Amino acid sequence: MKSQKHESRKSIFAKLMVFSTMTLSTPKVIAAEKDLYDFLWLDPDKKVYVLQNKVHKKEHTVFANLGIGIGLSSTFQDTSLIHGNFGYFITEEFAIEGLYTNYSNKDNEALANLQKLNGSVPFIRKTKSNLGAIAKWSPFYGKVNTFNKIFYFDWSFGLGAGILKTESNATTVANPTLANSYKSESYATIIGKSELTFHATKNINLNIGFIMNNYKAPGPVINNKSTDKMRSNFDAILSFGVSF
């Protein structure tokens, strides 16, 4: 009897050892459960898997972008632009960036109609170029599934300073004895930027951005007087970029 009991205990011990070995040898199953979250606002039987680790790392990378866009602030001008920027990500979220924008302006239909109706010339300020540097913060990232293909993206914000060069007819527009002419101007500006970056490959991306320049400038000269006030200039930009 003692021999049978001893053999039975050995059999139970052997089964426990086999079970423990199988359990410890399957860490992927246990780890997979940690990636699974229950959301109380879903049906009790619904499960949602969380977003995996970031695919496109930015820390210690250099980037450069080149693109085109339009100016959104001029009432009487159709403004197109060429924009370029480059920078370096110091950390995964923070970067420094330099940017330059060159503008091209053309009288639009609103100005032509105004001149046809009453022959008047409005006050116009044309943007010529924008040079600046910003600190860039990129706190958001994600992915979207479109046409059965996954695209990864980052959403960033920037704040900095620069020089905005313009020209305006401020000195002649209110004086009927003077021919309408434009004078070059230059203003210090505070630059704000928001940008979505879609990663096509590891090193190539598509960017959709908005840049706002805030600066203090005078209006038209009336009775030898002009009033300075804060003004804003908005640009929408589509660009292609590389990073490495």
Give how far Cα 11 sits from Cα of 6, 25, 87, 104, Å: 9, 21, 68, 87
- Residue 204 contacts residue 194 (beta carbons within 8 Å): no
Q: Which residue has the tokens 């100005």?
A: 111
Q: How, if at all, do strands 228-243 and 62-71 pair? A: antiparallel
According to the 3-state scheme, what is the secondary structure of the chain?
Answer: CHHHHHHHHHHHHHHHHHHHHHHHCCHHHHHHHHCEECCCCCCCCCCEECCCCCCCCCCCCEEEEEEEEEECCCCCEEEEEEEEEEEEECCCCEEEEEEEEEEEEEECHHHHHHHHHHCCCCCCEEEEEEEEEEEEEEEEEEEEEECCEEEEEEEEEEEEEEEEEEEECCCCCCCCCCCCCCEEEEEEEEEEEEEEEEECCCCEEEEEEEEEEEEEEECCCECCECCEEEEEEEEEEEEEEEEC
Backbone φ and ψ of 47, nearest 5°: -130, 145
**Would you write out the chain's pLDDT as a tens digit for each of its 244 residues?**
444 444 455 455 455 454 444 444 444 433 334 455 555 555 666 655 555 567 788 999 999 999 999 999 999 999 999 999 999 999 999 999 999 999 999 999 999 999 999 888 999 999 999 999 999 999 998 888 888 888 899 999 999 999 999 999 999 999 988 999 999 999 999 999 999 999 999 999 999 999 999 999 999 998 888 889 999 999 999 999 999 9
